[in-house]
Structure 1
Amino acid sequence: MNTHYVVADVGGTNIRLASIDEKTGELSQIKKYLCAEFPTIADVVKEYFSELDGLVKQLCIAIACPVDDDLIEMTNHTWSFSQQALKKALGLDKLYVINDYTAISLAVPFLADEEKVQIGGGEVKDKKPIGICGPGTGLGVGHLININDKWISLDGEGGHTSFAPTGDTSRQVLNVLAEKMGHVSAERLLSGQGLENIYQALCSIAQQPAKFSVAADITRAGLAQECQQAQLTLEIFCEGLGGFAGNLALNLACEGGVYIAGGIVPRFIDYVKNSSFRGAFESKGRFSAYNAGIATFVVLHPDPGLFGAGVYLRQELKVI
């Protein structure tokens, strides 16, 4: 009978599961389910297991919430569960529950060339620290270090550090948002909601009514050059993201590269390539030459959470 190693990526709306080849890391039998259609996580995992030809003895779950205690309580869904109870209910030998951004981070060193695209210059140094940030619903941030040929994800809340403007217009935007919010974190600008915040602030500065209310419309109008404030929104977003990524590079000497994950940037990569992103990344005063030597990439893998959960599981199996 076949033995399957299974990984899961759990968000507030969907849960995706896949069987992973423990030797190659290849994902297969990928299925997506709506969380709302299942009373518990055990119910949906059992359904997935029933569709596999064989037994499952090891499972790694990447989930969007804290994972430090046995009791897991999702922050953006109603599911909660005991890790020990879930392991018993599923008949597993091993259950690993990791943060979703830990999984995304761990995917990075194992991406194929076609699963990432380099922005600007710089070179990757083998086994050196890596920085990752991911503008999406929020701004995920992480670092990776290699210890004895094993990649370790360093968790943190870097998205909530104070936003550092890199130009006069972004300083004006910061002032508008500070009047409204008080503390302005990087996530307030470098996310889907951040695009909306930047655009609304620019409209306020220009004393013009906002034509758009959602990030997708702002992005489309900016790329089509239909709206000056939408165009400027994309410029400030890319400049701010470059400056933020450059700070990540300096924080831990990320000579292994800095990677941009998340669902936003892959939608307009060509624009990012020609934007001020890389210039802002390198513009670090006395350390500009240092950052110029560090490579930056955008992650294109369609399922980095699933893939990274597989990396975690394979490292525990000691096959990589």
Structure 2
Amino acid sequence: MITEELALVGDIGGTNARLALVRAGEVQPTAVEILPCSEYENLDVAVTDYLQRAGVDRVSKACIAVASPVRGGQVRMTNNHWRFSIEETRNHFDWREFKVLNDFTAMALGVPHVKPEQLTKVCGGSGDPARAKLVIGPGTGLGVSGLVPIREGWVPLMTEGGHVDFAPVDDREMAVLRILRARFGRVSVERILCGQGLLNLYQARAEIEGVAAPLNSPERITAAALEASDALARATLRHFCEILGRVAGNAALTIGALGGVYLCGGIVPRFVQFLAESNFRAAFEDKGRMRPLMQSTPVFVVTEPYTGLLGAAEALLNQEV
């Protein structure tokens, strides 16, 4: 079946490729499938298989979000073996249009389309919906993006805000910095605020406190913290939330995100209640004379699993992308 009114959208990470179809002028994805990247030689093979499974011979255009930098016409995935040329892929499928964007840019573009029931408010007031929004989230790395309002819609900010310096605020964090600097040299906030970063923080705190660190993965640390079965894991996750609050507050001040802060990614939605009960809010609001501004800024956790696909669909409609 040749379906000209359909477009292909995708959100490709290091492990999985999420692919879906959208109808012309719409953003809601249908026929969503999650394909393991390791089972396909490259993007074109995965797309061909997906379209066959969906019963569609051809679509007219596509937008793919990728977990890697997008420079020029070549894409080299950071955490899997896929490599492709944007123009060669467009020609191969005879697409009228093919957009490729960074996955967190797509995440930002998708946020305005997330349904209210997929947003959990953590703190803050009503803010100002007409102002910029901050989109930030720990996952494999720390993604930071934003949305700047224009007359009709939004322009996404393409940033590397996860790589700003980690700024300790007390003696314990100075010790954490010294330990991580010995391992990595320069220490960015991403060295703490991501999956591997949670493990880094856990091991650093264990060294500072002179105790064992038996847990060897972020998943195990999170599980132990939520189950209250490991005191160090629980203290580490609370510290992780506090640092996230501070970093999110700094970024919100930087871009003037009175429109709200949206916490995305694969980590925070797993412990929303824990986050709300942690020092996240106190750290987010602790900005001296800017405290009233921070108290008025709403902060949400985004629990929509396909925000990136919504953003890829929005990119096909958005002439600013």
User: Structure 1 counterpart of 2:216, which letter?
Assistant: S
Question: 1:151-166 alignment to 2 at 5 Å?
Answer: 151-166=154-169
Alpha carbons 1:8, 1:306 under 8 Å: kept: yes
Aligned residues of 1:166 and 1:239 also touching (Cα < 8 A):
no
> Deviations 1:187-216 (Å, cap 9, x if unpaired)?
111111111111111111111121211111
- The answer for the alignment partner of 1:281 in structure 2 is 284
Spell out structure 1 runs of 4+ moving beyond 4 A: none
Instruction: Work out whether residues 102 and 155 of structure 1, in 8 Å CA contact, stay in contact via their aligned partners in 2.
Output: yes
Q: Which residue of 1 aligns with 2:176?
A: 173
Say if 2:243 is the partner of 1:237: no
Deviation of the 1:175 alpha carbon: 2.8
**What's 2:140 paired with?**
137
The alignment's C-alpha RMSD in Å is 1.8
Query: Where does structure 2 lack aligned partners over 5 or more consecutive residues?
Result: none
- In the TM superposition, what whole-angstrom CA distance separates every residue of 1:234-273 from its partner, at most 9, and x where no partner exists? 1110100000000011001101111111111111111111
1:24 to partner: Cα distance: 4.1
Residue identity opposite 1:46 in structure 2 = T
Give the structure 2 partner of residue 44 of structure 1.
46
Does the 8 Å CA contact 1:166/1:243 hold for their aligned counterparts?
Answer: no
Match of residue 119 from structure 1: 122
* 2:129–2:260 contact (8 Å) kept in structure 1: no
> Equivalents in 2 of 1:223, 1:284: separation in Å?
29
| Greater shift in the superposed pair: 33-42 or 236-245 | 33-42
Closer, same or farther: CA 180–36 of 1 in aligned 2, 3 Å: closer
Distance in 1, Cα, partners of 2:320 & 2:25:
10
Query: 1:135 Cα shift?
Result: 0.4
By how many angstroms is 1:54 displaced?
A: 5.9
Q: Is the 8 A contact 1:248 1:258 kept in 2?
A: no
CA distance in 1, matches of 2:320, 2:285: 39
Alignment match, 1:34: 36
Q: Which residue of 2 aligns with 1:86?
A: 89
Aligned to 2:112: 109
- Percent sequence identity over matched residues? 38
Unmatched 5+ residue regions in structure 1?
A: none
* Local SS of the residue matching 1:67: coil
Match of residue 314 from structure 2: 311
Q: Aligned to 2:273, what secondary structure does the other structure show? A: helix
* TM-score of the aligned structures, taking structure 2 as reference length: 0.94
User: Aligned-pair distance for 1:287?
Assistant: 0.9
Segment drifting more, 228-237 vs 179-188 = 179-188
DSSP-derived class of the 1:102 partner:
helix
Q: Which residue of 2 aligns with 1:15?
A: 17
Deviates more, 1:239-248 or 1:301-310: 301-310
1:299 matched to which residue of 2? Answer: 302
Q: How far is the alpha carbon of 1:162 from its aligned partner?
A: 0.7
**Following the alignment from structure 1 to structure 2, what is the Cα–Cα distance between the partners of residues 197 and 291?**
29
Moved more, 34-43 or 192-201: 34-43
CA offset digits 1:149-203 (Å, max 9, x no partner): 2311111111111112344433332232223323211011111111111111111
Q: Is the 8 A contact 1:165 1:240 kept in 2?
A: no
| 1:142 counterpart letter in structure 2 | S
**Residue 275 of structure 1: CA displacement?**
0.8
Q: What amino acid does structure 1 have at the position aligned with 2:32?
A: I
Paired letter, 2:115: A
In 2: Cα distance, 1:215 partner to 1:80 partner: 29
- Compare 50-59 and 8-17 and name the one that shifted more: 50-59
Aligned residues: 318
Q: Does 1:188 align with 2:178?
A: no
Other-structure match for 2:219: 216
Shift of 1:89: 0.6
Q: Distance in 2 between matches of 1:129 and 1:163?
A: 24
**Is contact 1:20–1:27 with CA below 8 Å preserved after alignment?**
yes
Which amino acid is 1:291 matched to?
Answer: M
Kept in 2, the 8 Å contact 1:170–1:236? The answer is no
In terms of mean alpha carbon deviation, does 165-174 or 146-155 score higher? 165-174
Q: Secondary structure at the match of 1:208?
A: coil
Shift of 1:32: 1.7
Partners of 1:166 and 1:240 within 8 A in 2: no
Q: Distance in 2 between matches of 1:221 and 1:78?
A: 33
2:253 to 250, 255, 261: 250
TM-score normalised by structure 1 residue count:
0.94
1:67 CA drift (Å) = 1.7
Give the deviation of 1:316 after TM superposition. Answer: 4.2
Cα 1:150/1:166, change in 2 over 3 Å: same
